[in-house]
Structure 1
Amino acid sequence: MIFVVFALASGAFVSAENISNILVQISVLMVISSGLTVAVASGEFDLSVGQVAGLSGVLVAGLMVWSHLPVGLAIALAVIAGTVIGIVSGLLVTRLRIPSLIATLAMGPIALGLNYAYDGGDSIYSSFPQFFYVIATGRIGGMVPVPILIALVVVAAFYVLVNRTRLGRAVVATGSNLQAARLSGINVNRCRMIALILSAFGAALGGIMLTARLGTGQPGAGEPYLMDSLTAVFLGMTAFKPGRATVQGTLVGVVIIGMLDNGLNLLGAPFYLQNEVRGVVMIAAVSLAVLRGEIRFF
């Protein structure tokens, strides 16, 4: 429906170049949302994904520019740093029994504080190694944009993990009914821990891709992705398996958000309208699911 409306409103919307542009624009969101989906599927929420993305994005920039580390090593260390945030969140949830909403809400500012401590609150403007820019601007065979390929590989990996592995089925069972999963012999704390770690891992990867696209390390660059990721996940929970977070459903949600943003831009809508539309879409999606009994928060 959204596609048809924007296609009729603007002929440029359906062009191959614009479709490719939409996919490139949503590649970062696709990666971050896929990781968040695993956390939600386990029955947990990760409200730190935006700050974790920002931390990893700034860290990879600093390691390349200030420490002169090779691109591969800088990326690896930045991913590890983001993943550590997920480990701490998991320990808070599973060991101290702090609700994930509170634990990750607290870890977000901690990640942001580490971010500012590392770069002094300033963005890192510099020329990165050319190979790093390939993450954002490269093309395979001169046709397929690298960020789209990376995003699809990550989405496919998370899909296989959740739907085709014993661990993934245990994670979903934990999120569906914690007590039933525990009684069936599933180590629910292990599943919740791994889910939060994978969520942080996805956020870290997305933050690195974002830095490559922006060409600079910005402390707060990842924060808007929390709202967008949650919106994508909740939209997805009304798609394939109502009431359940699925990677394929989240992918649909991400595409919807991408089409909305792109379509509004083509129509010349003011930038603040995009945020308002996202909020309305999220409220509508969650309200519909709650009214149908597909999602329960209590």
Structure 2
Amino acid sequence: MTVRENAIKVQGPRPINWIDFASRYGTVFAALVIFVVFSIFSPRFLSANNLSNVLIQISALTVVASALTVAVVSGEFDLSVGQVAGLSSMLVAGLLVLNNQPVFAAIPLSILAGLIIGIVNGFLVTKLRIPSLIATLGMGPIALGINYAYSGGDSIYAQMPDSFYYLSTGRIFGFLPVPVLIAIVVVIAVHTLINKTRYGRATVATGTNIVAARLSGINVNRCRQIALVISATGASVAGVMLTARLGTGQPGAGEPYLMDALTAVFIGMTCFRPGRASVEGTIIGVIIIGMLDNGLNLLGAPFYLQNIVRGVVMIAAVALAVLRGEIRFF
């Protein structure tokens, strides 16, 4: 037995650092508490049908928030995701109903619109050096204006192809809802991109310390550009999913995604690796939002209470992380 092995044997197992444990998994515990509370006060909450509905309802938000996480990891914010989702939502409805385009053409064209907006966002941030908060805050109303110009401000209520509705009502193997499958694929793809690829490591370095990353030879502008393109593209995918679920195109339907996605990302920054955005943390945030919305509905709470609760949860999560020094904004 070596000296090192003897030393380890004498020291024994390390004691659990409960403060660190609470910092990493406290948000997960809070999600479990919310789950238990709604299970107690609403018997319908635990039903298989209701839990399946929750997963379907949060699928589009999962796509938006996961893609937005990439932007936050790179050190940027995308405040246009809600309007981009609304634009793609109206575009796919219009292309299918007003322009009689086939599904296989309408969906890619609608997603392409989001990708283009992401490219413009990246150009404004990396070439014109406009802070992403300002650039994307300005791009949001532009996307909304294009939305209204295309639709004339009217919602689109008409029968769409059955193959399009499959995005919301279809099931794989008879039990896995298609929107849930889409969300799972996006989550896995984003997690792999951030944690398993050279680009992901470079993006993490860029978001952690852009000056050090640049001095290390990382093309920080490329990382930020791609991150903003991914964020906008994810929002446009969610917009298509939203139209398939609602069966209509509504100009402002995607706007709530901004608040919900940011809340999910910030909640996620308080768990697992506090202070850092991560896909797994974002998913916990999405689940919390989904449970709160569904649970409050089942309890008969007024709709405005859901918005109040979302705001309180976001402020509380971020405030706690800031006070503990896990998140810094300046």
Q: Does 1:121 align with 2:186?
A: no
For residues 85-124 of structure 1, the aligned pairs below 5 Å read 85-124=117-156
Q: One-letter code of the match for 1:58?
A: M
Q: Percent identity?
A: 73
The range that moved more, 130-139 or 13-22, is 13-22
Give the number of the structure whose alpha-carbon radius of gyration is greater.
2
Secondary structure in 2 matching 1:297 = coil
Alignment partner for residue 154 of structure 1, among 172, 183, 186?
A: 186
Partner of 1:142: 174
Q: By how many angstroms is 1:69 displaced?
A: 1.3
Deviations 1:205-241 (A, max 9, x none): 0000000011011110000110000000000001111
Q: One-letter code of the match for 1:29?
A: L
Partner of 1:10: 42
C-alpha distance in 2, partners of 1:20/1:6?
A: 16
Partner of 1:171: 203
Partner of 1:267: 299
Partner of 1:252: 284
C-alpha distance in 2, partners of 1:240/1:183?
A: 29
For residues 191-210 of structure 1, the aligned pairs below 5 Å read 191-210=223-242
Q: Does 1:37 align with 2:69?
A: yes
Count, aligned residues: 298
Partner of 2:53: 21
Q: One-letter code of the match for 2:206?
A: T
C-alpha distance in 2, partners of 1:170/1:26?
A: 30
Q: By how many angstroms is 1:11 displaced?
A: 1.5
Secondary structure in 2 matching 1:192 = helix
Deviations 1:49-98 (A, max 9, x none): 00000001100111111221110111101111111111101000000100
Q: One-letter code of the match for 1:8?
A: I
Secondary structure in 1 matching 2:188 = helix
Moved over 2 A (4+): none
Q: By how many angstroms is 1:141 displaced?
A: 2.3
Q: What RMSD in Å do the two structures reach over aligned CA positions?
A: 0.7
C-alpha distance in 2, partners of 1:47/1:152?
A: 24
Q: One-letter code of the match for 2:189?
A: A
Q: One-letter code of the match for 1:297?
A: F
Deviations 1:227-261 (A, max 9, x none): 00000000000111101111111011000000011
Alignment partner for residue 216 of structure 1, among 244, 248, 251?
A: 248
C-alpha distance in 2, partners of 1:63/1:12?
A: 39
Partner of 2:311: 279
The range that moved more, 2-11 or 195-204, is 2-11
Deviations 1:167-201 (A, max 9, x none): 01111111011111111110000000000000001
Structure 2 portions without partners, runs of 5+? 1-32
Q: One-letter code of the match for 1:235?
A: I
Partner of 1:186: 218
Partner of 2:13: none
Q: By how many angstroms is 1:142 displaced?
A: 2.1
C-alpha distance in 2, partners of 1:168/1:128?
A: 38
Partner of 2:273: 241
> What's the TM-score once normalised by structure 2's chain length?
0.89
Secondary structure in 2 matching 1:75 = helix
Q: One-letter code of the match for 2:245?
A: R
Q: By how many angstroms is 1:46 displaced?
A: 0.2
Deviations 1:129-170 (A, max 9, x none): 100000011111221111111111111111111111110111
Q: By how many angstroms is 1:125 displaced?
A: 1.1
